[in-house]
Amino acid sequence: MSQIKHNENTDYLDQEIIRKLDENGRIPFSEIAKELQISNSLVHLRVRKMQELGIITGFSVKLNPKEIGFETITYTGITTKEAHYSYLISEKLKMIPEVVECHWVSGKYALFIKIVAPNNEELRKILYEQIHQIEGVGGTDSFISFGSAFEKNLPV
């Protein structure tokens, strides 16, 4: 397994705490302390320090889109009419609940987004009635996901 390289803000113990939290985000800190043979307060201190440094940016629940009614998942590239529109477009995309990721990218597209929709008809509406209506959007190309082979966190 890889380790965080050239980062003076983490050490072996921090990396082990991160691994335990990545395996099970609901694991009690007392359980981490027991497994690593350190005090519970040290785990709390280390996690708080990593949060303050921005290494740990939050804790969340991971939802299964298909189990809650989002049958269509796409990755969509967005071209802009002019490059300066990309920031405005990204701000407008934040307001569309079904757009769950947005990245600035190089190449043919200015932005690459992930959209979840109940079905293809709703995806069409999101694209044509919402995204294409945003000032500066030049066009979109969508790639429908048939499923995820795997998803994983950063290597530590």
Whether the Cβ atoms of residue 82 and residue 136 lie closer than 8 Å to each other: yes
Q: For residue 145, what are the contacts with CB-CB under 8 A and spacing of at least 6? A: 73, 74, 75
Q: Which amino acid is at 28?
A: P
Nearest CA to 36 out of 51, 11, 16 is that of: 16
Q: Which amino acid is at 19?
A: R
The whole-angstrom separation of Cα 87 and Cα 89 is 5
CATH of domain 65-145: 3.30.70.920
Give the DSSP H/E element, type plus range, for residue 122.
helix 120-125
Single pTM value for the model: 0.82
Task: Tell me the backbone φ, ψ of residue 123, rounded to 5 degrees.
Answer: -60, -45
- Domain borders along the chain are 12-53, 65-145
Instruction: Please report the pLDDT score of residue 88 as a whole number.
Output: 97
Q: Please say whether the structural domain 12-53 has been given the CATH code 1.10.3720.10.
A: no
- pLDDT one digit per residue (tens) for the chain, 156 residues: 444 454 677 899 999 999 999 999 999 999 999 999 999 999 999 999 999 999 999 988 889 999 999 999 999 999 999 999 999 999 999 999 999 999 999 999 999 999 999 999 999 999 999 999 999 999 999 999 999 999 888 887
Instruction: Please report the pLDDT score of residue 7 as a whole number.
Output: 63
- Judging by DSSP bridges, how do beta strands 137-144 and 99-104 pair with one another? unpaired
- 3-state DSSP call for residue 78? strand
Instruction: Please report the pLDDT score of residue 53 as a whole number.
Output: 93
Nearest CA to 44 out of 58, 33, 56, 35 is that of: 33
Instruction: Please report the pLDDT score of residue 50 as a whole number.
Output: 95
